[in-house]
Amino acid sequence: MTNANALIYDKAFRDRADRRQTWGVFLLLVALGIWLWVAYQLLAPFSITRSGTSHDLDCGSRVFYDAGESGRESYAEAEGERCAAERDLADPLALLLLALPFAVGGAFQYASGTFALRMSEHAAEVARLEAARES
C-alpha cells in the first residue's frame, strides 16, 4: 500500500472512530436526561390541581416526605392516596429501564471510538519512529 493510500485509510478510520465517539456522547446524554427526569420526579415536591376547585393539593417528594413519629409510615399513608397515585413508582422505574440501553450503548460506542483513535495514534507514532530510525 502506498503512503498516500495509507493516509487516506487512516483518515477514514479516524473519522469513523470520531463518529462512534460522537454517537456515544449523544446516547449518554439521552440516558442522562432520563436519569435527571427520574431524579426530579422522585426528589421534587409537587401539587395536584383538583378539577372543579381552585384549591391545590400539595404533596411532598417521594423520597423526602415526613414519615411520621414512628418513621414507618409509607408515602401513601403520610401524603395521601391521591399523591401516591399521582407519582406512582412504576413510571420512574420504567424510565430507568428505558435509559439502560442508551447508557450501555453510549458507553460502548464512546469507549470503542476512543480506543480506535488511541490505537491509530499509536500506530502513527510507531511508524514515525521507525521512519526516523531508518533514515
* Residue pLDDT, tens place only, 25-58: 999 999 999 999 999 998 888 888 877 666 778 8
Is 54 among the domain residues?
yes
- Cβ within 8 Å of residue 83, ≥6 positions away: 48, 57, 59, 60, 75, 76
68 domain-assigned: yes
Q: What is the Rg, in whole angstroms, of the alpha carbon atoms belonging to the chain? A: 27
Domain that holds residue 120: 8-134
What local confidence, expressed as pLDDT, does residue 105 receive? Answer: 97
Nearest to 19 by CA among 121, 122, 110, 120: 110
pTM higher than the cut 0.85? no
Residue 64 within a domain? yes
Give a yes or no: residue 3 inside a domain. Answer: no
What CA–CA distance (Å, rounded) separates 60 from 84? 10
Cα separation, 46 vs 58, whole angstroms: 6
pLDDT of 95 higher than 70: yes
Structure confidence at residue 53 (pLDDT): 66
In-domain check, residue 43: yes
For position 24, what pLDDT does the model report?
A: 97
